Amino acid sequence: MSPKKRMTIHDHAAEASLFKRRALFTFLCVMAMISILLYNLYYLQVESFKDYSTRSNDNRIRVVPVSPNRGLIYDRNGVLLAENRPFYSLKVLPEKAKNLADTLKQLQQVIELSNDEIDNFNEALKYQRRFKPLTLKSRLTEEQVAVFSVNQYKYPGVYVEAGLKRYYPFDGLLTHVLGYVGKINQKDRARLEASDDWKNYAATKDIGKQGIERYYESLLHGTPGHLEEEVNNRGRTIRTLKSTPPVSGQDIYLTIDINLQKKAMEMLAGRRGSVVAIDPRDGGILALVSSPSYDPNQFVHGISGKAYRSLLNDDSRPLINRATQGQYAPASTIKPLMALAGLEDNTIDEKTRIWDPGFWQIPNVEHKYRDWKRWGHGWVDIHHAIIDSCDTFFYEMAYKLGIDRISEFMMPFGFGDNSGIDIFEESPGNMPTRDWKQLKYEQPWYIGDTISIGIGQGYWTATPLQLANATAILANHGRRYVPHLLRAMQSQQTNVPAPVDERPPIVLKDENNWDIVNDSMYRTANKIRFKDSPYKAAMKTGTAQVVSVAQDAKYDAKAIKERHRDNALIVAYAPYENPTIVVSVVLENAGWGGENAGPVAKAMLDEYLLRPKTSGKE
């Protein structure tokens, strides 16, 4: 018998329940997925619409910045000092050139191309899309442009593009005033990014590096414009959708008088030194010359390493702005201020007289401090001490005043601090104090240090700008202005005057002391240099030792190196009754101040006060 077949009994209720649970689970999963899909659809189409729309437009629309034209710079009479001149470069559009290698070879027959230019072009071509132009040669001459234009039809895809670059028509005459513009480097980029100005320089390749160009960069640069271009997925331009023109930088007018600047450079005649002229009525700089100078135009297109090293290693240091960075012993040019300090402190008065045998000694000390006149000046009062530049008189006065009172009195005249002039290249000089010497040399202050300070030697150093500024304050009877170069800015065809910064005046206990000292400076000028001048002037010369001379030795310029000879200095102003110009001159290693710096100061005052009215002087 065959075994019985097992009977299977189906539980339809259980199977139906299982089916329902599975169907419900599947349905919920499907609904959840549909919900997620709908949410994503809502998120993409509604909530993220603006974001993705913008991204889409960013891929489709390219914004190309357009650089603005740089503002122009004029002197006080409207003479153009810095302009923008067109320059030409040779461009190649690779996709339109039939055979680049042959094209470059044929181009060499028309325009001189160096191996470096061709190598640089081929290297850049490796990383550039073929529908974007590449520069083959920059700075074409007008002759090269003309020759190529005649033959351009032979070279499809090659064309000349014009642009604007800074140009300084006076070459090195104003270099230390204007500075120059140069290519933006990593240091410039970091500074711009830190100030959030980088977006304004997206299309700009140059930036002010020194002088006025750097200080007033924000005025001169302008506001960039932009082009909105529609591009395909490969970045090729299809059409221009919108154009916003750039806004040119502001034109600015300086206080500089170009004719006076020329006269200063002419009088320096290539010698190492500086001339500064200030209008004491408002602190405007009329002339600021540092010699030797250099041509700033060579920096605009990028100076070669060889040329820059030549400037950097030049013993005459043309890169230094001697007018604001040169630190010199002021020598006898500060004797009027020392006399004023003595009068104000009641250390001396107008009747004070001392006997000058040709030297001075600290009580109970053997060392002799010599006068420049070996046999002395005899009896000397304050007027003769300034007129004849008697060292002995000021040795004794410095001894009585002491360094603390001297430093305290001189600092309001601008010594030992930046003047505030509107260029960054400035040194504060040094007005020494006890604390300064202790910090710098870890030595106490000695009485002998004070004696040297009394005649503007020793640790005291000043820039030519500081000497001119201090003399302007003296001529103004204490009124003080911050020296400045900016005179006006052009806004909507109207010149807007720059504000004048006047500081609190120096007030003396006895206002008559101003007249005593200025009268001595007038007598000094009238004695020799300005004796026959049609205007009245005041002045003080100085001769500063560069190296010390032994106690009993006689200074002999011919026996020492040229770089160790004395510096010649002078400060002067005119007209005496109502000063309109103050001049300081420093000639390095030139010797006697009156003999060498004096003619320079005289020529500057003559140029400013005696020239014909038609020359543009205001």
Which one of the listed residues 274, 290, 332, 452 is annotated catalytic?
A: 332
Is residue 365 one of the residues assigned to a domain? yes
Give the residue with greater pLDDT, 41 vs 502: 502
- Provide the mean pLDDT of the chain: 89
Is residue 55 one of the residues assigned to a domain? no
Mean pLDDT of 343-354: 96
In this predicted structure, what is the pLDDT of residue 616? 44
Q: Is residue 361 over pLDDT 90? A: yes
Mean pLDDT of 190-210: 86
Are 431 and 555 within one domain?
yes
Number of domains observed in the structure of the chain: 2
In this predicted structure, what is the pLDDT of residue 197? 79
In this predicted structure, what is the pLDDT of residue 495? 80
Are 429 and 492 within one domain?
yes
Is-contact 180 213, C-beta < 8 A? yes
Are 347 and 226 within one domain?
no
Give the annotated binding-site residues for Zn(2+). 356, 371, 377, 390
- Of 226, 254, 282, which residue constitutes the final position of a domain? 254
434-456 pLDDT, tens per residue?
999 999 999 999 999 999 999 99
Are 333 and 226 within one domain?
no
Query: What confidence category does residue 8 fall into, taking pLDDT thresholds of 50, 70 and 90?
Result: low
Q: E strands of 427-580, at which residues?
A: 480-481, 486-491, 494-497, 502-503, 538-544, 567-574
In this predicted structure, what is the pLDDT of residue 538? 98
Query: What confidence category does residue 615 fall into, taking pLDDT thresholds of 50, 70 and 90?
Result: very low
Domain with 195 in it: what CATH number? 3.90.1310.10
Domain that includes residue 373, residue range: 258-295+319-615
Are 125 and 262 within one domain?
no
Is residue 1 one of the residues assigned to a domain? no
Q: Is residue 541 over pLDDT 60? A: yes
Global pTM value:
0.85
Eight-state DSSP code of residue 173? G
CA-based nearest residue to 265, from 246, 245, 287, 250: 287
118-127 pLDDT, tens per residue?
777 777 777 7
Are 291 and 229 within one domain?
no
Domain with 594 in it: what CATH number? 3.40.710.10
Is-contact 90 148, C-beta < 8 A? yes
Are 494 and 431 within one domain?
yes
| Triad 131, 137, 142: Cα angle to 5° | 120
In this predicted structure, what is the pLDDT of residue 421? 97
Are 195 and 271 within one domain?
no
Are 325 and 417 within one domain?
yes
Is-contact 226 45, C-beta < 8 A? no
Give the annotated binding-site residues. 356, 371, 377, 390
The question of whether 332 is a catalytic residue gets the answer: yes
258-268 and 598-610 helices, crossing angle to 10°: 160
Least confident piece of the model among 40-54, 370-384, 399-413 = 40-54
In this predicted structure, what is the pLDDT of residue 617? 44
Is residue 508 one of the residues assigned to a domain? yes
Is residue 58 one of the residues assigned to a domain? no
Q: How much of the chain, in percent, has pLDDT values that exceed 90?
A: 59
Give the residue with greater pLDDT, 71 vs 42: 71
Q: Which two three-digit tokens encode residue 189? A: 């980029």
Q: Is residue 382 over pLDDT 50? A: yes
**Does residue 575 have a cis peptide bond before it, meaning omega lies within 30 degrees of 0?**
yes
Give the span between the Cα atoms of 602 and 612, in whole angstroms: 17
Are 236 and 103 within one domain?
yes
- The helix (run of H) or strand (run of E) holding residue 136 is strand 134-140
Amino acid symbol at 51 = D
First and final CA of the chain: distance in angstroms? 142
Is residue 599 one of the residues assigned to a domain? yes
